[in-house]
Structure 1
Amino acid sequence: MALTSMLPFAPSNTSLSYSSRASTAAAFAPRGVHFAADGRSGGGGGQPLACAAPRRRGRAPRRRRGGGLVVWASADYYATLGVPRAASNKDIKAAYRKLARQYHPDVNKEPGATEKFKEISAAYEVLSDEKKRALYDQYGEAGVKSAVGGPGGAYTTNPFDLFETFFGASMGVFSGMGQSSFRTSRRNTAVQGEDIRYDVILGFTEAIFGTEKDIILSHLETCDTCGGSGSKDGSKMRICSTCGGRGQVMRTEQTPFGLFSQVSICPTCAGEGEVISEYCRKCSGEGRIRVRKEIKVKIPPGVSKGSTLRVRGEGDAGPKGVPPGDLFVCLDIEEPSDIRRDGINLYSTVSISYLEAILGTIKGVRTVDGTSGLRIPPGTQPGDVIVLAKQGVPSLNKPSIRGDHLFTVKVTIPKRISRRERELLEELASLSNGGFARTDAKPKPAQPKRVHQEKEVGASQEDTDKSKEAEGDWLKKLTDFAGSIVNGAAKWLNDNL
């Protein structure tokens, strides 16, 4: 049965060609396609006599459920360019010149023109290269794919770069037209260098009042010999041979669904479009050198743990002389055990005796400004908070505003006292209302002398009574307060001594 009758879906204008190798797979594609059959041409002006099924290592030919052989897609590069298999390089170039101008996306806006242009470029890339053409003639497209990257091989030349190379940078007949939207320009976007992190530990007072720290930093700086270019003085940059100066390459891959292209940064020039012809000896072509330097970092007052300071321009220098990154200084603070910080306020505890709580005193306390006198007023209760105003932390954004240092009072009671102290406490307790009195204490006799003195006073008795009444009121208040503390202390002493 003739091949065309076995494949009713094949277009009538499909060109047929043959491979000299016996088991080459038959192939079909909608445009510029060829069929390779396991047979030889006979009569009928070179038309195929029959088409054998493609063999696959001894397997039986696969058939569709509706009948007919499965055919494998393959592009015919000769048919794509419209030249015979025996065409010379001159004929191939002429065909490419004609078709590339016809299907270039800048002039041909019809659907499918871009894909056709890519197919033409892929065909010319193979047939214009003697080695690739020899592989293609002997093994077909599969042989070329295997040579350039294995199964599903690829063509790395950008079809638009190929066009420019062939017609020149002016794009020949398209010199007066705008740049194609499918083309890409050289990559010259400046990037910033890498940022650097540096950890610094501050003392507590350094964080509160600010300081200046000397840090030793190791970072990359622009090479002063080549100015960041990486090339030797006097040498010139040359156009990258991989991308042709575009900074990007297009990878075109043949798939069962057609040609697919992907644009990526050129691996040779890293997107610059130019490569160094002779490297700088100092930086070995990097354009940057590592430098160890000492810099001063100013710490503002009021910083807290975890704060980060940004020092612009002290990071690593960027490639090719682009601006350097920044230095980020991360702060950690050593905090004392007796002072706690919360925002701009400081908190501490002050311990006083029960007598100091009753009578009042001035207590020396530690602050960030040094030792200060904290006034304890008479009658201070345990848990009371006494404030030293404006002895706290300066505000970070407005150092003229400063917080307070707050002290929580803790009253301490001694575990052991002397006999004399005990007697005085018991006497003080007896003066308060409902005061504590020991059961084994001997009552003191009445003082007749005081009564006698009161009788001798005579006429001034009334004035004296008023004075004593005022004094008694103050003493009563004091003894009432002292009693609340002394009673508990005396009871504890009575039970434990």
Structure 2
Amino acid sequence: MAKKDYYESLDVSREANEAEIKRAYRQKAKELHPDRNPENRAKAEEEFKRIAEAYEVLSDPQRRAQYDRYGHAGPNQEFTFGDSDFHRARDAYREFGFGGFDDLFDLFFRQGGTGGSRGRQQLVRRGENIEYKLRITLEDAAHGTRMTVAVPRMVGCEACSGSGMEPGSSKKSCATCHGRGQMEYRQQSLLGSFVNVRACPDCHGSGEMIENPCQECRGTGRVKEKSRISISVPEGVDNGSRLRLREQGNAGVEGGPSGDLFIVIELIEHPSMKRDGRNIHSQSVIAYSDAALGTKIDIETLWGSESLPIPPGTQPGTTFRLKGKGITNIHRGSGRGDHFVDVTIDVPKKLSHKQRKALETYAELLDSS
């Protein structure tokens, strides 16, 4: 089934500003609160998820621009959401004065269906996404490279095979919630009295407790270690570029899938070259006589040494271009940029007697011409 337009989901126009979008989202979320829909909770849950997703996209200027241009798929087919992705939706609703809203999100977005109508929740959970900063040289960014790094991350505990229990141990019903996985709290808000259903703080919604937790992972089913991961860095990456390695993040809980690993590129400053998008800039100093008479100089580029002709009469601040000696744009897939050389002229601070006489003769010739 095709997704409903995000603007239609919130009943706002495509020209709506940020405040109008937030106001519409709050109103919709209030209408879909589970205590207002006790007989049709499943439908309310689906509607709630839909408006939360719509707000998450339309409240983010970058995502909104992407949606306006490409629709639901986005340019990379990646308008997907998990239970940890709805930060803006959570914050916007929390500001309105509802207690227990984080738990409402947990119930609606936890894997396993309509939590509020079932009581005990499954704790199968996707692992967290993690970031790793990778420092590379400008040459690596230009040519691309492959390297292996040690990334700290959570992996499944081998001692208990991820169960969190000592061998031979089992689970028992949670005494706090009597196996239901939920606790009910009546609270007052700006809109009146509400019964908030929250995940049990002791069993975290599972309804069960481990009798003898694993000593290695302390019952979590995961341990932290450094994993050696091979990373392929494509040519053209820039400072701040993010590379996504699917399911290379933290291990999931209770058999859930692993999160993703995001590699954030940090370029090491080059001693003689500066990057400007696809182009490279460097400076070269030439002698006063070479500027006047012309010469050839060797320029070190990212692709090897290049001979650059300097024509007679070159002025200070002249910029020369070495075509195609820059960097590929990773996002546009276009060809390489250029390498620009800014020439400065070395004017000697001290002259020998012969040099001074030669320049004086040259100056006299200029005056007489």
TM-score normalised over the length of structure 2: 0.59
C-alpha offsets along residues 169-203 of structure 1, whole Å, 9 cap, x if unaligned?
Answer: xxxxxxxxxxxx98543222643222323222222
Cα distance change, pair 266–428 in 1 and its aligned pair in 2 (3 A):
closer
Q: Which residue of 1 aligns with 2:340?
A: 406
Report if aligned partners of 2:295, 2:311 keep a CA contact under 8 Å in 1. Answer: yes
Separation of aligned partners in 2, 1:410 and 1:224: 63
Cα distance change, pair 182–404 in 1 and its aligned pair in 2 (3 A):
closer
Q: Which residue of 1 aligns with 2:310?
A: 376
State yes or no: 1:197 paired with 2:107.
no
Q: CA deviation at 1:348?
A: 1.7
Q: CA deviation at 1:320?
A: 1.5
| Equivalent residue runs for 1:392-431 within 5 Å | 392-397=326-331, 401-431=335-365
2:281 is aligned, of 340, 347, 353, to 347
Q: Which has the higher contact order (CA 8 A, sep 6+)?
A: 2
**Bigger radius of gyration, 1 or 2?**
1
Q: Which residue of 2 aligns with 1:244?
A: 178
State yes or no: 1:274 paired with 2:274.
no
Report if aligned partners of 2:182, 2:200 keep a CA contact under 8 Å in 1. Answer: yes
Separation of aligned partners in 2, 1:424 and 1:284: 86
State yes or no: 1:286 paired with 2:220.
yes
Cα distance change, pair 423–326 in 1 and its aligned pair in 2 (3 A):
same
Report if aligned partners of 1:220, 1:317 keep a CA contact under 8 Å in 2. Answer: yes
Q: CA deviation at 1:261?
A: 4.7
Separation of aligned partners in 2, 1:355 and 1:247: 86
Q: CA deviation at 1:303?
A: 1.8
| Equivalent residue runs for 1:49-64 within 5 Å | none
Q: Which residue of 1 aligns with 2:163?
A: 229
1:213 is aligned, of 143, 147, 161, to 147
Report if aligned partners of 2:245, 2:261 keep a CA contact under 8 Å in 1. Answer: yes
Amino acid at match of 2:143: F
Q: Which residue of 2 aligns with 1:113?
A: none
Cα distance change, pair 223–418 in 1 and its aligned pair in 2 (3 A):
closer
Q: Which residue of 2 aligns with 1:318?
A: 252
Report if aligned partners of 1:194, 1:326 keep a CA contact under 8 Å in 2. Answer: yes
C-alpha offsets along residues 136-161 of structure 1, whole Å, 9 cap, x if unaligned?
Answer: xxxxxxxxxxxxxxxxxxxxxxxxxx
Q: Which residue of 1 aligns with 2:51?
A: none
Gaps of 5+ in 1: 1-104, 107-180, 254-258, 436-479, 481-497
1:361 is aligned, of 295, 299, 302, to 295
| Equivalent residue runs for 1:126-141 within 5 Å | none
Q: Higher strand share goes to which structure?
A: 2
Q: Which residue of 2 aligns with 1:46?
A: none
Report if aligned partners of 1:317, 1:325 keep a CA contact under 8 Å in 2. Answer: yes
Q: Helix, strand or coil: the match of 2:148?
A: strand
Q: Helix, strand or coil: the match of 2:232?
A: strand
> What root-mean-square deviation, in Å, do the aligned CA atoms of Structure 1 and Structure 2 show?
3.1
Separation of aligned partners in 1, 2:360 and 2:133: 61
C-alpha offsets along residues 89-110 of structure 1, whole Å, 9 cap, x if unaligned?
Answer: xxxxxxxxxxxxxxxx99xxxx
Report if aligned partners of 1:196, 1:316 keep a CA contact under 8 Å in 2. Answer: yes
Separation of aligned partners in 2, 1:328 and 1:224: 25
Report if aligned partners of 1:287, 1:321 keep a CA contact under 8 Å in 2. Answer: no
Gaps of 5+ in 2: 1-37, 40-114, 188-192
Q: Helix, strand or coil: the match of 2:254?
A: helix
How many residues of Structure 1 are paired with residues of Structure 2 in the alignment? Answer: 252
Cα distance change, pair 183–298 in 1 and its aligned pair in 2 (3 A):
closer
Q: CA deviation at 1:426?
A: 4.1
Separation of aligned partners in 2, 1:430 and 1:236: 103
C-alpha offsets along residues 18-48 of structure 1, whole Å, 9 cap, x if unaligned?
Answer: xxxxxxxxxxxxxxxxxxxxxxxxxxxxxxx
Amino acid at match of 1:267: P
Q: Helix, strand or coil: the match of 1:263?
A: strand
Separation of aligned partners in 2, 1:294 and 1:288: 17
Q: CA deviation at 1:302?
A: 1.9
Separation of aligned partners in 2, 1:308 and 1:246: 42
State yes or no: 1:264 paired with 2:198.
yes
Q: Percent of aligned pairs with the same residue?
A: 37
State yes or no: 1:300 paired with 2:238.
no
C-alpha offsets along residues 105-149 of structure 1, whole Å, 9 cap, x if unaligned?
Answer: 99xxxxxxxxxxxxxxxxxxxxxxxxxxxxxxxxxxxxxxxxxxx
C-alpha offsets along residues 381-431 of structure 1, whole Å, 9 cap, x if unaligned?
Answer: 222211111111222236661111111222222233344444444444444
Q: CA deviation at 1:356?
A: 1.2
Q: CA deviation at 1:301?
A: 1.7
Separation of aligned partners in 1, 2:314 and 2:364: 22
Separation of aligned partners in 1, 2:195 and 2:133: 47
Q: Which residue of 1 aligns with 2:53?
A: none
Report if aligned partners of 1:344, 1:402 keep a CA contact under 8 Å in 2. Answer: yes
Q: Helix, strand or coil: the match of 1:365?
A: strand
Cα distance change, pair 425–296 in 1 and its aligned pair in 2 (3 A):
same
Amino acid at match of 1:273: G
Cα distance change, pair 426–247 in 1 and its aligned pair in 2 (3 A):
same
Cα distance change, pair 374–183 in 1 and its aligned pair in 2 (3 A):
closer
Separation of aligned partners in 1, 2:258 and 2:133: 20
Q: Helix, strand or coil: the match of 1:338?
A: coil
